[in-house]
């Protein structure tokens, strides 16, 4: 250890890996449906894309989690976004590419990607 | 890409309830499910809720599972980690309210706690220095070395009001300033990790859960007093603690946080471990230093105090693990942050090890000034089986018993001494109506008789005689004059013993004589043990109206002293009965009682 700056660099790097363990109750929560139907429809790459993209963009207030089946198996993979002062957004038939777009347009800029939501899908 | 961390407690408490096997099973099932690249398993230190171990927390959800068994692992992996469905049957029930899962911090056990010394226990992986650094580890050392002079470090500790957590409560900053004011030359920084009080295990928890906090604090102390060599005296009975501390020291050395020219400041500091062989007296400071030197652990008279003439005759400071664990926080957040917590003369927090007749056995850290009632009823979850609280024993063999009438006293160093106990290292043993206070006093005396090093007469012979008098009382042969003689002997030992062990050894007797004299008198005058504990003063009898003659008791009795025909009332032959209580446990009709 040559200097305090060196220690701080190590801290910042280590801290990024610890974000998962922090209580972020007032942030945004992205939940991927990971029941058997979701996994069969390809939810796993969707989940990992969300995790990677959120980490890459250093979005500190976003928690990526999983949930079970919400009962609309024909629309899987389903992703729900919970925000503190907004109704829940439900994205359906998600893919890794769509996930990247949701991260950038919705999570980073606050604009819901209408064409992927359950309301628009199938119209 | 890691999307979830699973924290499993690897402290001694959870290890003895099987957490090692849980971790192994978890890792193999995660691997089998193909999740090894997504889920990280972290073995942490103690969470404090030892009664519910093994404990597991899954992030990012923060789900708190308790009493996890190897058989539960496939379900946790399949349901929770793979599919995101929380396994509700394993969730700590206090975190489930009206079908909603609440944060752990909101539960009765954690709500009133304030964790400073235990801040990282159960939060980080103690075997990975990076996790400690992530939570501002070694920043306090950096701040001290680059922005502060040794004098200002000592000033900060003085202003914080921190007092020694090992028992006596001596102001830490003042102790440091004594050593700092000695002429420059070889000085030593030592840590007392020879936690010996029965029932106290907070130091072990820090060593196991956050060993770098100790290393950082000792380096800060070294800078403050002008020392470049530290020793940690840790008991060999703490194998997990020793193992993790050694890993931590090695990692700190490798990163250059111990060694030469730390952070380019020109300050050198290194640390070595010394293992104690399990003598209680080695927790006494002069005996401890003698033991580090390689001699038989025996105390010596003070002065000279260690700050003047300590290890190898050089100026030495010796602090307890919990005391050190507070230091990095004080340096980083400032004395004024710390001295706002606690009471007028006792600042900060204290860790208590809850044991005995209490629901939430474990470790709790509360601000000084919290009442015993809050600790026992709210945090500790009360006394099991609807029994009544009788007393709490604090301070181990050096402390005393606090009766129910003092439950609302705000706990700090001075208040505890005023009511005849002491903080000690923070063991807190709860006793209910089934505990005999004379028997408790005898238990602790037995301990000190065993552990007395024998160097001075008041302790070696005095405690032995005191124990014999207690034997006399509990066997029903005591006289009222014995009680007065006992009290006199207590004060004699206190005034004349050489070291802290002997000086405090009579405390359990004195405090029970003070608050529970009626129980002593019942033993002496009525030849009765009111709690039916002392075997010579109670009988096991079968109640005629309740006995159904099922013969279950007769079959379980090891001395065959129960007789009676089938479906007829049974009788115990008092001459042959050894009062083992096996029949009481076996009887399904509550027909056998102690009288």
What does the pLDDT look like over B422-456, one tens digit per residue?
Answer: 888 899 999 999 999 999 999 999 999 999 999 99
Residue B127 has pLDDT above 50, yes or no: yes
Exposed, middle or buried: residue B288 (CB in 10 Å: 0-12, 13-18, 19+)?
A: buried
Token couple for B320? 């307890």
Sequence-separated (6 or more) residues with CB below 8 Å from residue B28 = none
Domain regions of chain B by residue span: 4-104, 129-338, 349-432, 437-525, 539-594
Mean pLDDT of residues grouped by 10 in chain A (123 residues)? Answer: 89 84 76 85 91 88 82 87 87 94 93 87 51
- Minimal Cα distance from B82: which residue of A? A34
| Residue B6: closest C-alpha in chain A | A21
Domain residue ranges of chain A, discontinuous segments joined by +: 24-116
Compare CB distances from A66 to B84, B138, B145 and report the shortest one's residue.
B84
Architecture of the domain made up of B129-338: 3-Layer(aba) Sandwich (3.40)
Q: Return the closest-CA partner of residue B570 out of B538, B593, B588, B544.
A: B544
Give which of B429, B452, B579 is closest to B512, Cα–Cα: B429
Q: Do B264 and A48 touch (CB under 8 A)?
A: no
Give φ, ψ of A109 to 5 degrees. Answer: -120, 0
How far apart CA B156 and CA B328 sit, in angstroms, is: 11
3-state secondary structure of B182: coil
Residues from chain B contacting residue A96 (CB–CB below 8 Å): none
In A, which residues are within 8 Å of B7 by CB distance? 21
The H or E element that residue B520 is part of is: helix B517-525
* Burial (CB count <10 Å: 0-12, 13-18, 19+), residue B1: middle
Which helix (H) or strand (E) segment holds residue B497: the answer is none
B454 phi, psi to nearest 5 deg? 95, 0
- Closest partner residue to A14 (CB to CB) among B1, B3, B133 is B133
Interchain CB contact of A64 with B (< 8 Å): yes
Q: d(Cα B305, Cα B182) in Å, to the nearest integer?
A: 12
ipTM over cut 0.90: no
Distance separating alpha carbons of residues B530 and B537, to the nearest angstrom: 9
Query: Which positions in chain A touch B138 (Cβ < 8 Å)?
Result: 7
Q: Identify residues of B whose CB sits under 8 angstroms from chain A CBs.
A: 1-5, 7, 38, 59-62, 82-85, 103, 105, 123, 130-131, 133-139, 142, 145-146, 255-257, 262-264
Question: Shortest CA distance to B45 belongs to which of B120, B106, B105, B157?
Answer: B120
Which DSSP symbol is given to B514?
H
Distance CA A48, CA B1 (A): 7
Percentage of chain B lying above the pLDDT 90 cut: 85
pLDDT for A25: 62
Q: Where are the beta strands (DSSP E) in B476-522?
A: none
B267 Cα to chain A: minimum distance (Å): 12
pLDDT of residue A123: 47
Of B96 and B51, more confident: B51
What's the rounded Cα separation, in Å, for the pair A62 and A55? 9
Of A8-22, B323-337, B491-505, the one with minimum mean pLDDT is A8-22
Would you say the pTM of this structure is higher than 0.90? no
What CATH number has the domain spanning B437-525? Answer: 1.20.1440.230
- At residue B97, the pLDDT reads 61
pLDDT at A60: 81
- Is-cis flag, bond preceding A118, omega within 30? no
- Do residues B293 and B286 make contact, with C-beta atoms less than 8 angstroms apart? no
By the 8 A CB rule, do B90 and B65 touch? yes
Q: What does the pLDDT read at residue B100?
A: 59
Contact A18 B131 (CB under 8 A): yes
Q: What is the CATH number of domain B349-432?
A: 3.10.20.600
Query: Where on the phi/psi map is residue B179: left (φ > 0), alpha (ψ -120 to 50), or beta?
Result: alpha
Q: pLDDT tens, B555-588?
A: 999 999 999 999 999 999 999 999 998 999 999 9
CB B416 within 8 A of CB B423: yes
Residue B62: pLDDT band (50, 70, 90) is: confident
List phi, psi (to 5°) of B594: -90, 135
**Is some CB atom of chain B closer than 8 A to the CB atom of A58?**
no
Could you tell me how many residues make up chain A? 123
pLDDT at B408 over 90: yes
CA distance B160 to B154: 10
Whether residue B60 has a cis bond before it, omega within 30° of 0 = yes
Residue of chain A nearest B125, judged by CA positions: A18
Query: Per-residue confidence at B101, pLDDT binned at 50, 70, 90?
Result: low
Collect all residues of chain A within an 8 Å Cβ-Cβ radius of residue B85.
Answer: 35, 67-68
Q: Residue B7: CB partners within 8 Å, gap ≥ 6?
A: A21, B42, B44, B56, B57, B58, B59, B122, B123
Best probe of the A interface among B3, B7, B75, B269, by most A CBs < 10 A, is B3
DSSP strand pairing (B63-65 vs B96-97): unpaired
Number of helices followed by number of strands (H, E) in chain B: 24, 19
Closest CA to B271 of B312, B235, B319, B230: B230
The one-character DSSP state at B532 is: S
- B90 has pLDDT over 60: yes
* A109 in reach of chain B (CB within 8 A): no
Q: What's the CA gap between B463 and B483, in Å, rounded?
A: 15
> Rounded mean pLDDT of B328-357?
96
Contacts of residue B198, Cβ cutoff 8 Å, sequence gap at least 6? B396, B397, B427, B447
Cα distance from B148 to chain A (closest Cα, Å)?
Answer: 13
The yes/no answer on whether domain A24-116 falls in CATH 3.40.30.10 is yes
Quote the pLDDT of residue B278. Answer: 85
Taking residues B133-139, what's their average pLDDT?
95
Chain A, nearest residue to B34 by Cα: A44
B418: helix, coil or strand?
helix
| Residue showing tokens 């893919």 | A95
Alpha helices in chain A (DSSP H): 4-18, 36-40, 43-56, 96-101
Lowest mean pLDDT of B58-62, B97-101, B283-287, name the range: B97-101
The first and second tokens of residue A10, run together, are: 């190590």
pLDDT cut 70: percent of chain B above it: 99
Q: What is the mean pLDDT of residues B241-266?
A: 96
Closest Cα in chain B, distance from residue A121 (Å): 24
The chain-wide mean pLDDT, for chain B, equals 93
Identify the CATH number of the domain defined by range B4-104.
3.40.30.10
**What is the CATH T-level fold of the domain B539-594, as seen in this structure?**
Alpha-Beta Plaits (3.30.70)
Query: Which residues partner with B541 through β-bridges?
Result: B593
């Amino acid at each position: 250890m040559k200097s305090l700056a060196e220690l701080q660099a190590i801290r910042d790097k280590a801290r990024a890996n610890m974000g998962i363990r922090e209580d972020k109750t007032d942030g945004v929560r992205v939940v991927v449906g990971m029941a058997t139907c979701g996994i069969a429809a390809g939810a796993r790459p969707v989940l990992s894309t969300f995790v990677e993209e959120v980490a890459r963009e250093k979005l500190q207030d976003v928690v990526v989690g999983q949930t079970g089946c919400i009962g609309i198996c024909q629309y899987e993979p389903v992703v729900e976004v919970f925000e503190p002062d907004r109704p829940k957004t439900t994205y359906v038939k998600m893919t890794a590419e769509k996930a990247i777009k949701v991260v950038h347009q919705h999570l980073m800029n606050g604009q819901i990607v209408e064409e992927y939501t359950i309301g628009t899908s199938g119209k | 890409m890691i999307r979830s961390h699973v924290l499993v407690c690897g402290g001694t408490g959870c290890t003895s309830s099987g957490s090692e096997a849980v971790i192994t099973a978890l890792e193999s099932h995660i691997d089998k499910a193909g999740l090894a690249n997504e889920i990280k398993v972290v073995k942490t230190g103690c969470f404090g809720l030892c009664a519910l171990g093994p404990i597991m927390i899954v992030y990012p959800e923060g789900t708190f599972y308790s009493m996890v068994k190897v058989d539960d692992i496939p379900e946790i992996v399949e349901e929770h980690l793979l599919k995101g469905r929380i396994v509700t049957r394993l969730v700590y029930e206090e975190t489930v309210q009206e079908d909603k899962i609440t944060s752990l911090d909101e539960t009765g056990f954690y709500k009133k706690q304030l964790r400073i010394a235990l801040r990282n226990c159960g939060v980080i992986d103690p075997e990975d220095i990076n996790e400690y650094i992530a939570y501002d580890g070694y920043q306090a050392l950096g701040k001290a070395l680059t922005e502060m002079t040794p004098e200002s470090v000592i000033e900060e500790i003085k202003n914080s009001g921190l007092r020694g957590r090992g028992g006596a409560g001596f102001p830490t900053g003042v102790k440091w300033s004594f050593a700092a004011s000695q002429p420059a030359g070889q000085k030593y920084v030592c840590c007392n990790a020879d936690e010996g009080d029965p029932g106290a295990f907070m130091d072990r928890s820090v060593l196991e859960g956050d060993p770098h906090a100790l290393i950082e604090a000792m380096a800060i102390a070294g800078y403050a007093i002008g020392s470049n060599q530290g020793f940690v005296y840790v008991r060999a009975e703490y194998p997990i603690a020793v193992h993790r501390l050694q890993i931590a020291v090695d990692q700190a050395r490798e990163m250059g946080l111990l060694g030469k020219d730390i952070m380019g400041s020109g300050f050198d500091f290194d640390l070595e471990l010394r293992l104690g062989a399990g003598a209680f007296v080695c927790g006494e400071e002069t005996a401890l230093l003698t033991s580090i030197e390689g001699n038989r652990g025996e105390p010596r008279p003070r002065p000279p105090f260690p700050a003047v003439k300590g290890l190898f005759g050089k100026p030495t400071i010796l602090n307890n693990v919990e005391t050190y664990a507070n230091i990095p926080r004080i340096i980083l957040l400032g004395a004024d942050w710390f001295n706002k917590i606690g009471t007028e003369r006792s600042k900060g927090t204290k860790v208590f090890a809850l044991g005995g007749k209490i629901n939430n056995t474990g470790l709790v850290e509360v601000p000084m000034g919290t009442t015993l009632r809050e600790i026992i009823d709210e945090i500790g979850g009360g006394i099991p089986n609807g029994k009544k609280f009788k007393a709490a024993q604090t301070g181990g063999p050096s402390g005393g018993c606090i009766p129910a009438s003092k439950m609302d006293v705000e706990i700090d160093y001075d208040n505890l001494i005023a009511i005849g106990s002491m903080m000690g290292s923070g063991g807190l043993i709860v006793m209910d109506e089934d505990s005999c206070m004379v028997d408790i006093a005898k238990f602790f005396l037995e301990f000190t008789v065993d552990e007395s090093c024998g160097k001075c007469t008041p302790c070696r012979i005095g405690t032995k005689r005191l124990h014999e008098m207690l034997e006399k009382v509990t066997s029903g042969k005591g006289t009222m004059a014995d009680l007065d003689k006992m009290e006199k002997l207590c004060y004699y030992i206190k005034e004349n013993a050489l070291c802290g062990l002997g000086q405090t050894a009579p405390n359990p007797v004195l405090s029970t004589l003070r608050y529970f004299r009626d129980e002593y008198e019942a033993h002496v005058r009525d030849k009765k043990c009111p709690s039916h504990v002392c075997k010579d003063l109670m009988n096991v009898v079968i109640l005629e109206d309740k006995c159904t003659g099922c013969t279950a008791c007769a079959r379980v009795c090891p001395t065959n002293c129960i007789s009676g025909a089938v479906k007829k009332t049974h009788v115990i032959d008092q001459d042959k009965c050894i009062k083992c209580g096996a029949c009481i446990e076996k009887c399904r009709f509550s027909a056998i009682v102690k009288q």
